Structures are given as C-alpha cells and as structure tokens.
Homo-oligomer: A and B are copies of this chain.
C-alpha cells in the first residue's frame, strides 16, 4: 500500500540532511516540507558529521560538486552508515566529467547506499563505467520505453544486485528495483522535463520516504516515485492557458503538499515485474 508510505512521512516528519546542488536546492527544501518531512542543508566538512547525526536520512546530490563539498559527501556518508541512517546517491551528470563519474564511483565504494537514483544515462555510467551524458538528462537513444522495457528492467535489476541497493531510474517510464522485484511506474508527464530539479526533488523525497518506512524500503521508494509523477499529473490539470514551466514547478510542489494517502493510492500507476 503506497498510501501508508506517504502517511508515515506526514506522521513522523523525518529530518533529512541534504548535500545538494545550489541550482535546485530551494525546491528540494520546499518539496520536503510539502511531503511532511523537514530539510536541513549543510555541506562544510567541519560540520556535516554532526548535522547528519541529528537527522534520519542523508541525500547526496553531486549536481554542483566542488573541492569543498566532495570531502563532505564522504564524511557525512560514512557517519550516516555508522548510525544506520538511510542514505541516497543522486549522481547528477555522472558521465559528463571525470570528476563527477569518479566521485560517484568512489562514493559507491566507500559509502553503503540504500538507494541510487538517476536517469538511465547516469545509471549506465555507473554500471558500465562508461556512458554519454547530455547535460543532466538521459540520452534519448537510451530512454526507457515500452519497446526497450524488458532489456531495461533486466539491466537495472542486475545493477541493483551488483550494487546491493535499490536502484531508481527515472524517465518516461520509471523503474524501482532491489534486484529482485521491479516496480514499473507510469506516472508523470513529459513536460516535467522542462522544469529543472524534478529529479533532485524526487531524490530528497525518496530519502524521506525511506526514513519514515524503514522496514519497507522498496515500496517506500516506489511510493515516492509514484507521488512525484502523480503530482506532475495533478499539477498539469491545474495549469491555466498562459502558464508555463515556471508555474508548473510551483503546481507540482503544491500537489505534493495537498496529496493524501488516498489520492496517492488511487493515482499510482505501477506494475511489479
């Protein structure tokens, strides 16, 4: 029941530590508040261990990584591991530079992640040690479509098994797998790709959902993915003729804010493979 997953977030109000990029950070904070969680942002090596210690989960996003924040990702990740916190990696732009690819790969080696979430291009980079990244969007040629679905599910399951964590690939169709079961999710709208940060927001929400549903990680991650996609659908319904991507951004976060368990349960479109 994905319904319980969001209700638990609202009831438990988990505190999520975000080491994230400065492009989408405000939306990340607001979407965490919208779903019932509480955000804290901190990225200096001198304090990230203490900050993560008072939280329930850690969301590491390498979108605008730099020399000061990279060490923080390792320090916070290891501390969160020691404390048994939920930890997520969003490898934004992996494949676009060696620094991004290497940082993401090294993080996977030194930190135990509960979830890795990216587009298919980023995940391929991590899985295959290669890949082409166009900005932070998945390569169209590599998109998960109905035609490529079987192959994609196999690929993602296999990467999840190898990585011993949940892998979330988002795109036209979203995949959420622990290597065994794979949620195939068909919520969302293509127009969400015209807003910066829906992926970053989702990563933060997944972290919050895992913290609030500790015994049920796979379903919690899938529920967050359904919630984000459904918010994209509801937000779109609320669009007026002259609205565009900037207003759509607000309407999506608003839809998360107003989403109750029943709405999510009814609106979630997934199958399990």
**Residues of chain A whose beta carbon lies under 8 Å from any beta carbon of chain B:** 15, 21-27, 29-30, 33-34, 38-47, 50-51, 54, 63-68, 93, 96-100, 133-137, 194-197, 234, 238, 242-247, 249-258
Copy count, this protein chain: 3
Q: Considering only CB atoms, which chain B residue lies closest to A64 in the complex?
A: B41
**A243 partner residues in chain B, CB cutoff 8 A:** 254
> Nearest Cβ in chain B — how far from A32, in angstroms?
8
Taking a contact as CB atoms closer than 8 A, the residue among B30, B43, B47 that contacts A98 in the complex is B47
**A249 partner residues in chain B, CB cutoff 8 A:** 30, 246, 250
> Nearest Cβ in chain B — how far from A260, in angstroms?
12
Assess the A63–B41 pair: CB atoms within 8 A: yes
Assess the B30–A246 pair: CB atoms within 8 A: yes
Taking a contact as CB atoms closer than 8 A, the residue among B30, B97, B134 that contacts A195 in the complex is B30
How far is A67 from B42 in the complex, measured between Cα atoms in Å? 12
Among all A-B residue pairs, the 7 with the closest Cβ atoms: A244-B257, A244-B254, A246-B253, A29-B196, A47-B97, A47-B99, A246-B250
Could you list 20 examples of A-B contacts with CB < 8 Å? Answer: A22-B25, A29-B197, A30-B196, A33-B245, A34-B194, A34-B245, A39-B196, A41-B64, A44-B64, A45-B67, A46-B67, A47-B98, A50-B96, A50-B99, A66-B68, A234-B242, A244-B255, A246-B251, A246-B252, A246-B254
**A30 partner residues in chain B, CB cutoff 8 A:** 195-196, 245-246, 249
> Nearest Cβ in chain B — how far from A104, in angstroms?
12
Q: Known contacts A27-B26, A96-B50; decide if A136 and B40 are in contact (CB<8 Å).
A: yes
**A98 partner residues in chain B, CB cutoff 8 A:** 47, 50
> Nearest Cβ in chain B — how far from A94, in angstroms?
12
Assess the A135–B40 pair: CB atoms within 8 A: yes
Assess the B196–A26 pair: CB atoms within 8 A: yes
Q: Considering only CB atoms, which chain B residue lies closest to A98 in the complex?
A: B50
Assess the A251–B245 pair: CB atoms within 8 A: no
**A54 partner residues in chain B, CB cutoff 8 A:** 96, 133-134
With A26-B27, A42-B96, A50-B96 already in contact, 13 other A-B pairs whose C-beta atoms are closer than 8 Å: A22-B25, A22-B41, A24-B26, A33-B194, A41-B63, A44-B66, A45-B67, A47-B100, A245-B253, A245-B257, A246-B250, A249-B250, A250-B250
> Nearest Cβ in chain B — how far from A46, in angstroms?
5
Interface centre among A44, A67, A133, A195 (most CB of B within 10 A): A44
Taking a contact as CB atoms closer than 8 A, the residue among B29, B34, B134 that contacts A15 in the complex is B134
Interface centre among A40, A251, A258 (most CB of B within 10 A): A40
**A246 partner residues in chain B, CB cutoff 8 A:** 27, 30, 34, 249-254, 257
